[in-house]
Amino acid sequence: MKIAVKNFEEITTKELYNILQLRAAVFVVEQNCAYQDLDGKDEKALHIIGSKNGDIVAYTRIFAPGDYTDKACIGRVVVKKDQRAFGYGKDIMIASIDAIRNSFKTSEICLSAQSYLTKFYKELGFSQVGEEYLEDGIPHIMMEKN
């Protein structure tokens, strides 16, 4: 998988379409969750885009401290369903953590994890903060990495 880090202005129209298509396929259709994906935050984010053979297969968006939360933040972590067996989730997360360190000069990171993925994020050095809560009807846990 090839990984690119782009700000909003650098994303091509085709890439944006494919990113939104992937996010909708997983978060809306697969997880059966109607929510407002186009939340006005993509323009502030850096986009971590994983592609294979010209197809976007993994993605996250990251935010500088103060843009979304007080710490740098990773969100919209997604891997295409038929590509999950290849470790791309770990690869895109490592690239996201590296991009935060390089772009924002911090190693303090937070994310709102779907609860069933806490073990995955713990393996990447994140720790649970607080209690489980519902976000768009799905159980989540706030997690931080220092």
**Burial class of residue 49, CB neighbours in 10 A (0-12, 13-18, 19+):** buried
114 domain residue, yes or no:
no
Q: 141 is written with which tokens?
A: 């846990």
> What's the CA gap between 92 and 49, in Å, rounded?
8
Q: 126 is written with which tokens?
A: 């994140």
6 domain residue, yes or no:
yes
Mean pLDDT value across the chain: 95
Q: What is the pLDDT of residues 60-115, one digit of tens each?
A: 999 999 998 999 999 999 999 999 999 999 999 999 999 999 999 999 999 999 99
127 domain residue, yes or no:
no
Sign of CA dihedral 142, 126, 92, 44: positive
CATH code at position 51: 3.40.630.30
19 domain residue, yes or no:
yes
- Boundaries of domain holding 22: 2-106
59 domain residue, yes or no:
yes
> What's the CA gap between 50 and 4, in Å, rounded?
7
16 domain residue, yes or no:
yes
139 domain residue, yes or no:
no
79 domain residue, yes or no:
yes
> What's the CA gap between 133 and 142, in Å, rounded?
9
DSSP-derived letter for residue 68 is S
Q: What is the pLDDT of residues 27-75, one digit of tens each?
A: 999 998 888 888 999 999 999 999 999 999 999 999 999 998 999 999 9
> What's the CA gap between 15 and 56, in Å, rounded?
8
